[in-house]
Amino acid sequence: MTHDPVRVGHCMHAGVVSCSPDAPLAEVARIMGDHRVHVVAVADIGHGRPWGTWHLVSHTDVVAAIASGKEPTARQIAGAEANTVSADDPLEVAAKAMTDHRVAHLVVLDPTAAYPVGIISTLDVASAYGARQSWEAPKSTE
């Protein structure tokens, strides 16, 4: 029995919890707690919507900033530009991107508009893999 590949869009958390680059650490932490998420996207806001490049602040970034005793902004603690994946991509593409870039979260883009529509985490990938008995990892090319 052949199964269609599991797609990123089926496994992601729809919607992107975001903040402005100038949001103080306490606001970023509050947003994470209020929304019960481990990552907040940082983007400039224009015309009521985030735009430009996306960066992510993880819960471990927040904890490290708290431990430092400083009060940085979201821009100051956000990582490099976020890695992305299309909602139409097979789940193994997300798994490979996470492994290759050593990240736990990817921004998921709408396949036609290239606008963020969600976030996928390593836990989302693991959960989908566990739920799919016949899911096959990509064949090694080495």
Burial 86-106 (b: 16+ CB within 10 A, else e): bbebbbbbbbebbeeeebbbb
Q: Which phi and psi angles does 84 have, rounded to 5°? A: -125, 165
Q: Give yes or no for residue 136 having a pLDDT over 80.
A: no
| Confidence band for 46, pLDDT divided at 50, 70 and 90 | low
Distance CA 59, CA 98 (A): 17
Domains of the chain: 8-131 (3.10.580.10)
Q: Quote the pTM value.
A: 0.83
Structure tokens at 132: 């799919």
Q: Considering Cα of 120, then 58, then 56, then 97, what sign does the dihedral take?
A: negative
- Strands annotated E in the chain: 13-14, 18-19, 39-46, 49-58, 84-86, 105-109, 116-121
Q: How far does the chain reach from its first CA to its final CA, in angstroms? A: 27
Alpha-carbon distance 62 to 21, whole Å? 14
pLDDT for 72-87, tens place per residue? Answer: 999 999 988 899 999 9
- State the chain's mean pLDDT as an integer: 87
